[in-house]
Amino acid sequence: MEKSIVLIDMNAYFASVEQVSNPLLRGKPIVVCGEGRTVVTTASYEARKFGVKTAMSLYEARALCPQVIAVCGNMDKYVDTSLKIHKILLDFSDQVEPFSIDECFMDITHLCSKGVSAKDVAKKMKGRIKNELGLLCSAGIGPNKVIAKLASKLEKPDGLVEIKSGSAAAFLENLPVEELQGVGVGRKTSAKLRLLGIYTAGRLGAASEDFLRFHFGVMGSYLKNVGLGLDYAGVKKYSENDQIKSVGHSHTLPRDTRDMSVVRSYLMMLSQKTGERLRRYGLTGGTVSIVIRYGDFRTFSKQNILKNGVKTPEEIYGAAKNILAAALPLSGPVRLVGIRVSGLSRDDGQQFLLDDINKSRVLSEQIYELNKKYGEFTVKPSSVLIAEKFGVSEGCGMRGRHMLKKP
């Protein structure tokens, strides 16, 4: 029996959430972004009319639409709303697989019957999300995730499109490879496909697997399947979603700097944020990596596997500082600093009982409690102050994939 997979994709998600929570923003061109040297994360449909798009610098957005309202993103709010969406969808089925903060795949095959079509089911889901949260979404339905995803892009906002397996081939036949963005064919891959003479999804499906494997490695077989509209990956149950694999933060400085005390100060601030999230998730990390981007956009990363693992901001910072020290001298002014902790494991409270480690944890425990009570960075190590003086912006979390997946 043919499956019915639906992708629910929220429309202009961050911007819409802001417009719902602040009536003054409704009907107005707004963009959700960060501060300082930032780009547009999401533009409202009113702003899109002016040509404002995601990933555009705020500067460009203002040039296209001078009256645009820039709203600083609030990740907690978006995550919270996202969980509410999941809750609604879980009323229909436990096969809900979050694909990003604003998208979920669902297998609704079992909800369809003679009298109830997949479109009927999706319409009900859309209705509940709209009624209960005031948000619009587009639903794409297909025999698998790839087709569902492509279908969801056809009608926005508030779309509802079904592509049945019988019509998938016709749909893909002349679909430009650029339109496959979102299903694993990004800018570089579509450009390469074009160079190889493959301009449409239809041609991609017709290409020989050997040929594709030669040019794209293991991705080759997957690409051919995409061209054929085939995808064998099922939809996971909500409870079976992947564990989070890494946690990190990065920050673009207000201006480039050669001052290593400023760079270290940002590392400290980012360690603080990362450590707090690890704590919230109850995780301990085994690997710390730092990222440095120079003013000319050259970027490098270095990592270290720690013998004892890291948990507190102090431990993360200690590791990060050492990695930075080993990378000195840097070869230019620094634009961006980042930290990521991976190799995560459940923190069962039994490990790392060394005395000195515990002492610093008692301190950071106290800092954590105070910050929870009075807000982020109420209590902080003195070196963060350098970053603050330098002009760090806070509370502008951005969108990421798999951020919702609970460890």
- What residues act catalytically? 103
318 binds DNA, rule: CB under 7 A: no
261 binds DNA, rule: CB under 7 A: no
What gap in Å lies between CA 51 and CA 74, rounded to an integer?
A: 24
400 binds DNA, rule: CB under 7 A: yes
Distance of alpha carbon 406 from its chain centroid, rounded? Answer: 14
Using CB under 7 A, pick the residue from 6, 112, 384, 396 that binds DNA. Answer: 396
Using CB under 7 A, pick the residue from 144, 252, 265, 284 that binds DNA. Answer: 252
244 binds DNA, rule: CB under 7 A: yes
Q: Are 359 and 366 in contact (CB under 8 A)?
A: no
Upper half-sphere CA count for residue 309 (Cβ side, 13 Å): 19
Using CB under 7 A, pick the residue from 113, 114, 297, 329 that binds DNA. Answer: 297
Please give the structure tokens belonging to residue 380: 């902080």
72 binds DNA, rule: CB under 7 A: no
334 binds DNA, rule: CB under 7 A: no
Using CB under 7 A, pick the residue from 28, 37, 128, 236 that binds DNA. Answer: 37
Q: Which is nearer to DNA, 111 or 396 (CB)?
A: 396
Q: Which is nearer to DNA, 112 or 315 (CB)?
A: 315
What gap in Å lies between CA 254 and CA 257, rounded to an integer?
A: 9
Q: Are 335 and 253 in contact (CB under 8 A)?
A: yes
Q: Which is nearer to DNA, 1 or 326 (CB)?
A: 326
The DSSP bridge partners found for residue 42 are 32
Q: Are 178 and 138 in contact (CB under 8 A)?
A: no
Residue list 169-228, contact with DNA (CB under 7 A): 180-190, 217-219
What gap in Å lies between CA 42 and CA 294, rounded to an integer?
A: 26
369 binds DNA, rule: CB under 7 A: no
**What is the distance between the terminal CA atoms of the chain, rounded to a whole angstrom?**
34
Please name which of 293, 355, 348, 344 lies closest in space to residue 316, comparing C-alpha atoms.
Answer: 344
Per-residue string for binding with DNA, 131-150, x by CB under 7 A?
------------------x-
What gap in Å lies between CA 273 and CA 130, rounded to an integer?
A: 33
Please name which of 268, 350, 357, 349 lies closest in space to residue 306, comparing C-alpha atoms.
Answer: 357
Q: How far is the CB of 10 from DNA (least distance, A)?
A: 8
Q: Is 399 helix (H, G, I), strand (E, B) or coil?
A: coil
Using CB under 7 A, pick the residue from 142, 248, 285, 381 that binds DNA. Answer: 248
346 binds DNA, rule: CB under 7 A: no
What gap in Å lies between CA 337 and CA 377, rounded to an integer?
A: 19
Using CB under 7 A, pick the residue from 117, 241, 257, 287 that binds DNA. Answer: 287
Q: How far is the CB of 257 from DNA (least distance, A)?
A: 14
The DSSP bridge partners found for residue 138 are 9
Q: Which is nearer to DNA, 216 or 352 (CB)?
A: 216
Please name which of 384, 370, 355 lies closest in space to residue 271, comparing C-alpha atoms.
Answer: 384
Please choose, out of 97-105, 309-317, 366-374, 381-389, the segment that lies near DNA by the rule CB under 7 A. Answer: 97-105
Binding residues (CB under 7 A) for DNA: these are 13, 34, 36-39, 41, 54-55, 57, 59, 99-103, 149, 180-190, 217-219, 242, 244-252, 273, 277, 287, 289, 296-297, 299-305, 335-336, 338, 340, 342, 396-403
